[in-house]
Amino acid sequence: MRAAATLLSIALATVPALAASKGTLGFALGTKLADGSCKYTSDYEADFDAIKSNTGSTIVRGYAASDCNCAQQILPAAKSKGFKVILGVWPDTGDSFNADKLALSTYATQYTDQVYAVTVGSETLYRGNFTGAELLEKIQDVQAILPNTLMGTADSWNKYADGTADALIKGGVKLLMANAFSYWQGKEVGAGAEYTYFDDVQQAMGHIQQVAGSLDSIEFWNGETGWPTTGGTDYGAATAGTDLASTFYTQGVCGMLDWGVNVFYFEAFDEPWKPASVGDNGAAEDETHWGAMNADRSLKQGFSLQCS
């Protein structure tokens, strides 16, 4: 623990604080129940109750407004429970792009007080599906549906740091979210994971600030970060474990919030319905146990969700 605290102190010392106040904590939230069936409004209401009571957070983000009729079902729940939602648009295929736009025009326009923002794309630059200029066109297309709504994208931190997203910054996009997973860089909790997390976010934020001139007109979030509590294949020195996830949350996520950066933790609840996949290293990849809480919304033993 002392090593983790030392590394975190070094990371914090490398750049000035973003703001005098703490950042906002949010959670990525899936559209399906543990068995893979779609959530309804009552399910989202139960999700919101668990998130708020256990973490104090009142904001979540999704990925595709039409998936499982997400916008239709989640927005009434957000209204009844006092939550804000960042809805997603998946631009990678024409069908998904059009379906998500239709969901926004049909439902988001009715719940503008609950829609905090919209993200167009999730790591689509990282996957190479669009250039920055092409993604900017997609964002501008969606902005026409909700002209007064905060709009942007979420992508891997390195796509900001290496200039791939410069067209978005220069094009006036107001919401930029950088995902940063030190787990997928093979870092060990307590021996580099926290420092790497801070350094990645700093690189993304620093480049955005350099290109834009300042962050005054841009809302920046760490769009995703997290640590698996069980299952999956070890990735270098990174291993899954509830105690490790809890330490990363306390040292990394809470530290990032103290730094003044808004953070979305990936994710609120385990999703056991997710199929097995293959990671970038060619090894089997298990994404079923990344939740801060269990699939039944109960707390995980030994996983503290409170920041001091």
271 is catalytic: no
How far apart, in whole angstroms, are the C-alpha atoms of residue 194 and residue 22?
A: 18
Q: Per the residue annotation, which of 123, 137, 188, 287 is the catalytic one? A: 123
Determine whether 79 is exposed, middle or buried from the number of CB atoms within 10 Å of its CB (0-12, 13-18, 19+).
middle
Instruction: Compute φ and ψ for 90, nearest 5 degrees.
Output: -100, 100
Place of tokens 């295929």: 93
Q: Which residue type sits at 176?
A: L
Residue of 46, 51, 21, 17 lying closest to 33 (CA atoms):
46
* 123 given a catalytic annotation: yes
Task: Pick the catalytic residue from 45, 194, 224, 285.
Answer: 224
Q: Cβ–Cβ contacts within 10 Å for residue 186, how many?
A: 16
CB-based burial, 43-70: b 16+ in 10 Å, e otherwise: bbbebbebbeebbebbbbbbbbbbbbbb
Catalytically active residues are 123, 224
